Amino acid sequence: MKVLLSHIQNAIESLNANRMRTFLTMLGIMIGIMSMTIILSLSGGLGNMISDQVSNEGGSIIVVRPKEIGANDKNIISNLATSKSFTRSSLTEQDFGSLADLDHVVAASPLASFASEITAAGKKTITNILAVSSELDKAISLKLRDGQFITDTTGSHNTVLGYQLASELFGADQAIGQNIHIKNQPFLVVGVLEPQENVINFNNTDFDNTAIINYTAGKIASQNSIQIQQINVRVDSVNSLDSVRQKIERKMSDNHKGEQDFTVISGQDISHPSDDFIDLTTLVLALVAGVSLVVGGIGIMNIMLVNVSERTREIGIRKALGANNTQIMSQFLTESTIMSLGGGLLGYATGYSFSFGLSTFLPFKPLFSWEIAAVVMLISLVVGVFFGIYPAIRAARKNPIESLRYYN
């Protein structure tokens, strides 16, 4: 222990003698560790937010889609139905009706969308029209900013607008009670949605810029050209999810006379592609940050080689006084390790500060964990040792007689 403390003390004195050189050498490690800390903390925070949303929004949701959409892929994020995703949907109104009547199903809604021009208050815009049942807000937990959700009353021409669309047409607070025209048919605005913040979207729909109408009105407005792109089903609890999913698969198979032209996905499946995407993105960015660490490590090695050259006579004197190769090597290795750990500590603190500052513009908080701290500091230690060992060996192999020639 005394020997180690002596090495550390000597290393600090040596590094302190060339403060600017030491700081510039540490800077490369600092930048690499800062980048890695930002990546790990933000990706961890995003992962936690997605997990929470999947648990809250998707833990008890089942989605039924035509098999043509993502037939070989259950990635519910990137392959959910849009009006251009298939030629002809296999889902029918009979499917929706039969699924809504199953035990443990608390809400169900078909979802069909089409693009249309909307006119209102002398303004025109082309946006997405979503034809659904009055239970969609319960099936996927849509939150209203103001007003109420649509009704399924036959002949009812009411609509709920997304927050951005309502703001564009009327101002979000003045939309209730206003009229819009879709395909030359009047619709009364009865509600405005809260701004959407969820990363997870079971419907691949920009609800902020969507007008929601009931399914019957949607068929009329589209002249019966709309197709059910998916059916959202919410069960009464997560415990019922598997049993209801099996019932849905059997009921759909019966409705379709045994033809497996549909896909049933539980909301819990959504976390898998999300996690894979986050992991892949984190890996790629971490590799980029790793390049900075390699550059920083090379910087440490170069500076330590310069130090060995400049301190040749010091090495000769120490060997003449009895220092062996191991002690010389340990001394220089301690210096490189201290520089690397110092840069890592500064990078870790700077990275977290940057992450928390950046999080004010993001819908999630960065992940703070001792695991991240341990990982980045371990990486700093490895870089210091790996890139410091060659200069340390060079120093230890110095011939004391040749080294003493520099002392004059």
Q: 5-11 long-range CB contacts below 8 Å, 24 or more apart?
A: 7/330, 7/331, 7/334, 8/334, 8/338, 10/331, 10/334, 11/331, 11/334, 11/335, 11/338
pLDDT of res. 152: 79
Whole-number Å distance between alpha carbons of 368 and 243:
38
Q: Are 80 and 69 in contact (CB under 8 A)?
A: yes
- pLDDT value for 306: 87
Q: What is the pLDDT of residues 277-306, one digit of tens each?
A: 677 777 887 787 888 888 888 988 998 888
CA distance 299 to 116: 60
φ/ψ of 402, rounded to 5, equals: -65, -40
> How confident is the model over 360-377, as a mean pLDDT?
85
Higher pLDDT: 333 or 200? It is 333
pLDDT one-digit tens code per residue, 130-171: 999 988 888 887 889 999 999 877 567 899 999 999 999 988
Q: Check residue 56 and give its pLDDT.
A: 60
Query: What whole-number distance in Å separates Cα of residue 228 and Cα of residue 132?
Result: 9
Mean pLDDT of 12-39: 83
Side-chain-side CA neighbours of residue 13 (13 Å):
7
Longest dimension (CA), the chain: 104
pLDDT class of 4 with cuts at 50, 70, 90: low
